A and B are shown apart, each in its own frame.
Chain A
């Protein structure tokens, strides 16, 4: 069955440094979604990527979908303390949505 792997599991950065989390699927995806869960909160939908090679930006966040539609990345430029949380990717194919294990980001002020 479809598997979605996400790395790294944890990332600790100094405020102002960049951060990237990577997501890889064992199968080709129809789309990939990204979510953010703040400590003590619930996952919140950030974005969905559908097209091969697609790149989308939300302020300091850049999302990419690989050409083969099997991998994706989320890059945060110049992290801030408000970026703290766990970032999950979720790959969709054939009526099956699989969440990655998440990357927990901590930011030192």
Chain B
């Protein structure tokens, strides 16, 4: 157990639907990051939050949005899902940007 909790572990949904992925960071970590990893690919940075505020944005589609709540947990919302959105979505947390990241086990999203 890395200390970063992601739910659900697996998600199967149809095209056009909307899903919410949830992440609870490691205790004491203020930064939360979301990454997308397609099959056998690298880690594509989506977005970072720090203590409730958006700090950095990567290649996140307009159909995707995220937020970090006062208790520091974060949610990634994916809407109007397409087949190409099927991927592993990782959440990571750290004390701040220049510290090592602790990754969660990921949510495997399958869009059918």
Q: Which residues of A contact B (CB under 8 A)?
A: 30-31, 33, 35, 41-45, 48, 88, 90, 92, 95-102, 104
Contact = CB atoms under 8 A, between A and B. Distances in A.
B106 A95 contact: no
A100 B42 contact: yes
A101 B105 contact: no
B75 to A, nearest CB: 19
B84 interface: no
Interface of B: 2, 40-43, 45, 55-56, 90, 92, 97-106
A78 B46 CA distance: 36
A99 B98 contact: no
A45 B90 contact: no
A99 B55 CA distance: 17
23 contacts: A35-B103, A42-B90, A42-B105, A43-B90, A43-B101, A44-B103, A45-B100, A45-B102, A88-B42, A90-B101, A92-B97, A92-B98, A95-B55, A95-B56, A95-B97, A96-B56, A96-B97, A97-B45, A98-B45, A99-B43, A101-B41, A102-B42, A104-B40
B56 A43 contact: no
Contacts of A44: 2, 103
A90 B98 CA distance: 10
B45 A99 contact: yes
Contacts of B97: 92, 95-97
A99 B48 CA distance: 14
Among A33, A43, A92, A101, the most chain B Cβ lie within 10 Å of the Cβ of A43
